[in-house]
Structure formats: structure tokens, C-alpha cells
Structure 1
Amino acid sequence: MDADAPPVIGVGASAGGVEALLDLAERLDPDLPAAVLVVLHQPAEAPTVLPELMDRRCALPVRHAVHGERPVAGAVLLAPPDHHLLIVDGRLEVTRGPRENGHRPAIDPLFRALAIESGPRAIGCVLSGLLDDGAAGLLALVRHGGTAVVQDPDEALYPSMPRAALEQVPGAIVTSLAEMSTTFSQLAARPVIGGRRPSPRLERELTLSRAGVGVNDQERPPGPPAGLVCPDCSGPLFDLSEDNLLRYRCRVGHAWSEKSLSSVQDDGIERALFTALQALEDKADLQHRIARAAHDRGSARTADRARETAHQALQSAGLVRDLLADRKAGDSA
């Protein structure tokens, strides 16, 4: 950790995050003695004008981060679409490393990098969003001397991410957007005390997040086999869970929290059910055609068998439709 480096504030947001970031940008102190690094979940191919929108409202300069630059106090730097934003050895890395929790950029890699790089100078902040990206990284940041700030879930448009962060870091500072800028200024100006050496596992996880930086293939896997499959690459997942934090990572680096993995599994199940429904209805349609053709040529036995097969396929399709309806009802409950 460079003693002359400024404090760094990492801010993570997802659904509802654009509104939160624009509100926060208007309130940031023009004399903020810290660098601000921002990760917002966003589609990989979608153009974004968020830096320009924030820059118009913010007293500090706002732009996309550039690979290799050093963060400076009084600047707000955003992760570009489809790139993680990290800080390693005092410089920013804008990298296409493996997705985490289904996202790139993801929040957890930034927070882990801040834990290693800035230690007690690091401030991690979780804003509005779905599921739980950022919770594991925020816990690592706090364990290495940093400070956690969480948007008040009652204020957030989507409170899932703030609540997940508070489940892992119940001692985090909970604040409204109106008070967040003051909190940042106070935390950035305080004396730095202590710090700890990064754990080998945290350093290895950061390495896995960096594109083009491999981990020795002879090293043992990240953890014990979880008996689960990575949705991104179909490789085996390994268990990185601890206490009440369930986490998984594959050998090439894709990482999943319990909520993100459950969500993508739900999506996969729904796709499989719709595929099965389509196949069953196609089968019934074909068997009805076979029955009509057989009837026309006087093959009553063949026609009866085809009608029975069609009937069974439609019964099975009805069961699949019921399963899909039950899933949708459960999602809306």
C-alpha cells in the first residue's frame, strides 16, 4: 500500500443505480480528498452516456477509467461496459476477466482489489440493485481494514443488494443519498490506522479476475468440489463458502454468489421447461398428422396408436404448463 496514494471509494450499483449515481453525483464535495471508482451493472454491447450525464451534475470530473492510469483524488472514474475495474500496484486495470455473478463489470472484483491495494484507506459503497453482487467483496474489504457504506435499503429503488451487503457486514454505515457525500468526505479525511496483509485466497481471487493473468494449472483448485456446474463455462464449481456466505468459483475464474447462481439456475430451468413444452406440442402435432394420414389410407391400428401417442404428449405438455404457471406464481408472491 502506497503511503502517498489517496483514499479510494469504490461504489457499486445495479438496478436503480443510474438514478442513485446521478443523485450522488450532484452532492459530491468538490474538495473530496479521495478517488471514486464506480461499477454499474450494464449490458455488454449497449452504449452508455452515464459518464456524460454524471459529469454535467457533478462538481468533480467524471469519465470512463483508462487502463494503466493512477487514480487521483477528486476524480470519478467509471468501469466501461463489459470490463471489470480493478486497481493493482497503484494503477487501474480495465480488464475483460471472467464474469462474476453473471456480470462484467462486477462489483465484487473491485472491492477485493481495493481491500488488497488500499486496506484501511478503502471505502466500499453498495447502492440500489438486485441480488447480492458486492456483498462478498464488501466483507473482504472490511476484513482488511476498509470501511463499508450502504445505501439505506428503505430508500433504494431495489433494496436487494443493500440488504445482502448488510447481511454480510451488519456494522456498515447505513446512509441516505442525501447524507452519503458528507459521509464520504468524513471517512476520506480521517487518519489511517492499521491494516493487514492480504490473505493468499484473496490475492488468488484477484488474479483470477485479471484478464491475461493465469493461475498455475498445477495449483490445487480454489476450494473443495461443490458438485455444481458453472453456468458460464460448464466447468465444475468449487466451494469458497465461509460462515453464512455461500460462494462458488470455477477453475477459470467465473464466480457465483448463492443468489446469483440460484437466479441463473432458475432461468436455465425455465428455458428447459419451455424447450420441453415446445417438443411435446410438436410431437402431438406430428402424431395427429400421422393419425390422419393413416386413417385416410385405411390403417386404423396405426391411426389409433398415433392418436394415443398424441394424447400422452399433450398430457405431458399440460403438466409442463402447470409447472411453468407455478413458477411464475412463486416469482410474483
Structure 2
Amino acid sequence: MDALVHRDVVVVAASAGGIEALRTLLGNLPADLRASVFVVLHISPRAGSALPGILDRAGPLKSAAAQDGEPLRHGRVYVAPPDLHLLLDGESVRLSGGPRHNGHRPAADPLFLSAAAFAGPRVLAVILSGTLDDGARGCAEVERRGGLVAVQDPEESPFDGMPRAAIAATTRPMVSSVPLIAEWIVRECTGTRAAEEIAVDRKLQHELSAFFSAGPPVPPPGRLSALTCPDCNGPLYEVVSSPDGHYQCMVGHAWSMESMIDGQAEAVERAFWVAILRIEERLRLLTRMLGHAEERGQALVVRRLRQQTDRDREALETLRHLQSRIGREAPAAVTPGDQRR
């Protein structure tokens, strides 16, 4: 049965290069906007609390760090705090220290998925500048549930990974400059529209249970894959409803294929450094044992220890060479004072 729906939930995500886009977007929204606005920016867990103040000064809307359990209010901008996911839970705001998604906390997908689950056609989803593809799956679910998606034009985005991924994941995104996206939000938040009656999406609600429940982990909806989680090394389940590949572990860490490649690169680099450290420690012990054997005149022991030391030095050199080829410089965290990534 159709119902009259007012689009009054706006979810916005950005990463590298996104602070200026967020300021422009909020600067073009009116104080009497009949919607609640939720903002996720990929920031370091150790980032300070400057972002809400920066966004509060950008325009007439009141921006502040979101508080767990506060109700949704029109004309208010809820900003995800560092190291906490920002979520919708019915008509309330939730903060969660739950598992990282696509290597991030806060991340776009948990916010977008929760908005799609609880608000359906009331949702407007916006993707701004950023790398990789966080938010793409959330945009697809928002669209599937009757909401609308807008994406910053990749040609004007300092980093076009997130915009291009969102465009590829959806069928009818509004792709434009940030000021025109602000006009689109105002237009879509005005009046009511006919849409299917809103009901909570139980499948998405189950997928989000890791953020809302402190109970024991439950297997994700999907089939067990032959892959392991880059964060916790647990088995990954493939969510079969996601055509572009989406994986989730028992703990709740979730990955797109692109973000998992990035996460695996970090895991491989960590593994190399652990192996290098252990061989260096082993060489120090072998050198000490070799010195003791030489002092005691143990010729056979000396020969055996020298052979082992030579083998370990050769292995160490090989590992360092491989690490220099496979390793990569980790992207710098995005903070309000530094948009480089």
C-alpha cells in the first residue's frame, strides 16, 4: 500500500579531500531544512574534536558531535565522532564501537545501511570526495529501499574513488557539483511523495546486529568463502545479494573486494615486518651462541652455527628485498587540519 513520505533523512559520507566539499554542502543548506543530516568522514581514531566546529561554522545548520540515543531532529547535523560508527536506530541516533567496515570506523556503509533499513524511502544519500569504495554498497541499498542517491561529480572531486564506486553501484544517481547537490537536497526535502509503506528491512537489521547487540556473534547471511578477514583472520562469508562482492566475518568486519585488497596489502606488510623482526632476533641469539662456542673451542658447533647464521642472513636479505617491493606507504589519516591521504 502506498503512503505519503517526507524525505527527511540525509546521510553524507566523505574521505580524502572531503572536508571542503562538506563545508560547501552545509554552507548551501538553509537553517529551516526539514531534515536531519548525518555526516561520516574517514578520520583517524586519534583525531581531535575539531570537525563538528568546522562544519558548524560552514553554514546556518547546527552541527555537533552525535550523542548516543539522542532523537532525530530537523535542522540538525549529526557528526560521527572519531573511532565510532554513526547509525540510525528507528528515530534515534546510535554510536557504536563495533567492527570496522572497509577498514574504517566510522565508515559510510554502516550509516547508509542503517538508514536504508529503518527509513527506506525517506533517505537521501550523498557521496563526496574519497578513495576506494566505502559507501557504494550502502548507496545501492538506499536506492533499493526507495531512497535517492547523489554523488559529487568525479571530475571535480579531489579523490574520485568513492564517487565513481557509488555511481557504478546505483542505477539512477544524481551526479553534479556540490552546490547543485545542496539545491537537490532542499528540493527533495520539500513536501511529500507517494511511496511504498515504510517497514523495517529485517535482512539489513540482522546484518547490522553486530553494532546493536552485545550478544555472541552470529554467522553473517551468506556462504562461507575460502578467504580470511584482514583484520582478525577469521573466516569470511560472501554476501550473495551483493553483485560486486561483499564479505563479512563472524566478528562483523565487512569488506568490499576493493577495500579487502587494500586491507590485505597492509596485512602482508605487517607479516613481513614480523618475520623480519623474528629473524633479526634469531640472528642475535645465533651470534651470541657462536661467540660462546668459539670461546670453548667447539669446532663442530661453531661450523654448524655459522652455517645457520649464513642461511638466516640470506633469508633476511630476501625478505627485506621482497618487503621493499610489496610494501607500500600507508595512507595518512584524514584529519580536519590535513586532507592529504
| TM score, norm. by length of structure 2 | 0.85
How many residue pairs were aligned? 329
Matched residues in 1 for 2:217 and 2:261: separation? 30
Residues 4 and 193 of structure 2 are in contact (CA less than 8 Å); yes or no, is this contact kept in structure 1? no
Moved more, 30-39 or 107-116: 30-39
Shift of 1:331: 9.4
Give CA-to-partner distance per residue, 1:7-43, whole Å, 9 cap, x none: 1110011222223222322222334332211112223
Residues 152 and 176 of structure 2 are in contact (CA less than 8 Å); yes or no, is this contact kept in structure 1? yes
> After the TM superposition, which residues 1-333 of structure 1 pair with which residues of structure 2 at under 5 Å, given as runs?
7-189=8-190, 191-195=192-196, 199-212=201-214, 214=215, 221-242=220-241, 244-328=243-327
Give CA-to-partner distance per residue, 1:50-104, whole Å, 9 cap, x none: 1111111211111122333332332211122232222222222233333322322
Structure 2: runs of 5 or more not aligned: 332-341
Shift of 1:200: 3.5
Shift of 1:296: 3.9
Matched residues in 2 for 1:235 and 1:294: separation? 44
Residues 95 and 211 of structure 1 are in contact (CA less than 8 Å); yes or no, is this contact kept in structure 2? no
Structure 1: runs of 5 or more not aligned: none
Structure 2 SS opposite 1:154: helix
Matched residues in 2 for 1:44 and 1:211: separation? 22
> What residue identity is the alignment partner of 2:311?
Q
Residues 222 and 251 of structure 1 are in contact (CA less than 8 Å); yes or no, is this contact kept in structure 2? no
Residues 29 and 181 of structure 1 are in contact (CA less than 8 Å); yes or no, is this contact kept in structure 2? no
Shift of 1:319: 1.4
Identical-pair percentage: 36
> What residue identity is the alignment partner of 1:206?
L
CA RMSD of aligned residues (A): 2.8
Shift of 1:107: 1.2
Q: 1:84 to 1:291 in 2, by over 3 A?
A: closer
| TM score, norm. by length of structure 1 | 0.87
Residues 13 and 126 of structure 2 are in contact (CA less than 8 Å); yes or no, is this contact kept in structure 1? yes
Matched residues in 2 for 1:81 and 1:60: separation? 21
Give CA-to-partner distance per residue, 1:265-286, whole Å, 9 cap, x none: 2211111111111222333343
> What residue identity is the alignment partner of 1:273?
F
Give CA-to-partner distance per residue, 1:159-182, whole Å, 9 cap, x none: 222222122125311122232211
Structure 2 SS opposite 1:193: strand
Question: RCO greater where, 1 or 2, for CA within 8 Å and sep 6 or more?
Answer: 2
Give CA-to-partner distance per residue, 1:104-142, whole Å, 9 cap, x none: 222112111221222222111111222221111111000
Residues 137 and 169 of structure 2 are in contact (CA less than 8 Å); yes or no, is this contact kept in structure 1? yes
Residues 277 and 317 of structure 1 are in contact (CA less than 8 Å); yes or no, is this contact kept in structure 2? yes
Q: 1:92 to 1:282 in 2, by over 3 A?
A: closer
Shift of 1:154: 2.4
Structure 1 SS opposite 2:155: coil
Q: 1:305 to 1:95 in 2, by over 3 A?
A: closer
Structure 1 SS opposite 2:194: coil
